[in-house]
Structure 1
Amino acid sequence: MSRAEEIADVLRERIVTGQLAPGDPIPSTRAIMRDHNVAMATASRVLALLQNDGLITSTPGRGSEVRAPDSSAQSILTRDGVVAVAVSIADAEGLAAVSMRRLAAALEIPTMSVYRYVPSRDDLEFVMLDRVMGAMELPPVTGDWRADLQGACRTMWQTMTRHPWFAGALSMTRPASMPNAMPLAERMLGSLCGAGLDPVQAFTDYLCLLNLIRGLGSTLEPELSDRAETGVTNDEWMDTRVADLRRIAPPDRFPRMAAIMDVGYPYDVEVLVESGIERFLDGISARLV
């Protein structure tokens, strides 16, 4: 994010939260230069960004002020409704397609009005993730640690298949604090602790399971995109690469790879998910003996 975008985000937040009301003046270019220690070009870019968003109007000789919401905006819209439409766009077209302008077009409201519900694109992505997490319906607890873990993992996978963009948007190294992620985390940690693991080991295995499922989930959106662009399935694409694979993996050097090419591997991500979960849980079971 550029310095101009950072400053614009600060002012945008003040506008959408009502700290700056319609008609209130916006800091001038010189004021932005002074207050944020930036060059004139950067300060001008800040005002241009806010104007492009439809949040301010600029009048020669009078400066810039907060623009009043367009009367054509639909008053029945809610933040939850706006986020639901953003999720539907991401489901159909991918997360990259979800911009404030694209969302405004889908809602048939001015771009400025979207910022009244979600202050920024980053905030929108956060609430989209949290909304999807909140829609997860975990199966009832059985008291069997393995069955409960299986149920939680499969629920997470089903969520990723319904929302192919979801896995790629999740960060495992710098995760967002999503309230709706807590029930899944508590269920999985409770199951692992119920198996007899100490809290640290339980949390380690919880993260490993999440990463296993997320890693396979992150292949969903690219594959759907490639298929839509080329009309070629994964199996069909692999068929076109067999000759290249045989060339780089001659039987005398790589007999195992050559053997699987002779047999033919029926790639199925669902099989990988189930196999990964079951073998991981087998490992926990073996360690408990």
Structure 2
Amino acid sequence: MTKPTDASDQPPYLRIAAGIRRRISDGELASGDRVPSTRQIAKDWGVALATATKALTTLRLEGFVETRPRTGTVVAGTAPSTPPRKHSSPAPAPEQELTLDRIVRTAFDIADAEGLSALSMRGVAARLGVAAMSPYRYVPSKDDLVLLMADAAFGEETYPADVPEGWRSRIELGARILWTLYRRHPWLAQLGSLTRPLLVPNLMVHGEWMLSALDGHGLDPTTLFDIHVLIYSHVQGLAVHLEWEAHAEASTGQSEDQWMDSRAPALQELVESGRFPTFTKVVGAFNDGYDLRLDALFESGLKALLDGLTPIVEGQEAVA
């Protein structure tokens, strides 16, 4: 796509907004259709991500578009039929109204809707309608902002005061709470690895719950911590695919099913090669193809893990 030209002396973000608004008014983009993402706008128009964000913010304030989590920005269901005649830059919010909580929550909105890769300090400032450098007075860098976001996200769920009986019930509860958080904020699973863990207080709350469930059963410290890491890796390891799939769909414009359909010739070639008889037999047994269900895999994997760990935990307890 070539960069649109416009002789107007309007700021770039207003020209971009006018172009998208025109496509909506002409019916090229209908209600519910995705509009170009901030990265696509930045690429097509040759502008910074903050400028692209400001253009979409303008359209959102006018009621032409709305943000839907894990979908991105789409044409609003009740978009105005005609554009406003006069456009002016959104009035910056008074600096005294800017708070760390507003910055973190705005960053949440961006990451939830468009993924962590779309997050930038300038984009947050543009969404808030403040000067580009204003957020830096509250948080030193994007990395620091992401840590605050992670801590806030992990703090959204708490544990009951009445502790369930039995180590297994406590582990199941802890694992499901983590899975709920990753489901709510798919970008969260992308942060930290097993070798370089994310050290934020509210994630430690979840770790403390899991460790305390395993403590007191006669396990040596290494075995106890290994089990904790193994369970955590099961939850996070599946959850990373939530964000990967959302990013792939946004990049390709294809759903998971559409992508698989487009790869049908390659799959057929593998099946007909005769080199993979077991794969061919299993795939051939599916009437409508294999349905990858991450929630079901999480539950079955958790059960299998705990079934396998039961003799280790309870056997050590008997010995102790």
Fold conserved between structures, TM > 0.5: yes
How many residues in Structure 1 have an aligned counterpart in Structure 2? Answer: 219
For the aligned residues, what is the CA RMSD?
A: 2.1
Q: CA deviation at 1:252?
A: 4.6
Residue 134 of structure 1 corresponds to 155
Match of 1:107 among 98, 118, 128: 128
* Distance in 2 (alpha carbons) for counterparts of 1:173 and 1:200: 15
Residue 308 of structure 2 corresponds to 283
Contact residue 73 and residue 113 of structure 1 kept, 8 A = no
Instruction: For residue 138 of structure 2, give the secondary structure of its aligned residue in structure 1.
Output: coil
Q: CA deviation at 1:240?
A: 3.4
Contact residue 242 and residue 261 of structure 1 kept, 8 A = no
* Distance in 1 (alpha carbons) for counterparts of 2:217 and 2:254: 44
Question: What pairs up with 1:128-207 in 2 under 5 angstroms?
Answer: 128-139=149-160, 140-207=162-229
Instruction: For residue 232 of structure 1, give the secondary structure of its aligned residue in structure 2.
Output: coil
Residue 42 of structure 2 corresponds to none
Q: CA deviation at 1:80?
A: 2.0
Write the deviation string for residues 237-272 of structure 1: whole angstroms up to 9, x where unpaired. Answer: 223334423423558532221122112322111111
Residue 86 of structure 1 corresponds to 107
Residue 97 of structure 2 corresponds to 76
Moved more, 90-99 or 240-249: 240-249
Are 1:274 and 2:296 an aligned pair?
Answer: no
Residue 238 of structure 1 corresponds to 260
Contact residue 193 and residue 202 of structure 1 kept, 8 A = yes
Measured at CA, do residues 78 and 261 of structure 1 come closer, stay the same or move farther in structure 2, by a change above 3 Å?
A: same
Write the deviation string for residues 65-89 of structure 1: whole angstroms up to 9, x where unpaired. Answer: xxxxxx9643122212211111121
Kindly provide the amino acid, as one letter, of the partner of residue 126 in structure 2: A
Instruction: For residue 191 of structure 1, give the secondary structure of its aligned residue in structure 2.
Output: helix
5+ residue gaps, structure 1: 1-70
* Distance in 2 (alpha carbons) for counterparts of 1:235 and 1:193: 44
* Distance in 2 (alpha carbons) for counterparts of 1:131 and 1:276: 27
* Distance in 2 (alpha carbons) for counterparts of 1:267 and 1:235: 10
TM-score (norm 1): 0.70
Residue 123 of structure 1 corresponds to 144
* Distance in 1 (alpha carbons) for counterparts of 2:309 and 2:182: 25
Match of 1:98 among 103, 110, 119: 119
Task: Report % sequence identity.
Answer: 39
* Distance in 2 (alpha carbons) for counterparts of 1:194 and 1:156: 23
Kindly provide the amino acid, as one letter, of the partner of residue 180 in structure 1: N
5+ residue gaps, structure 2: 1-91, 316-320
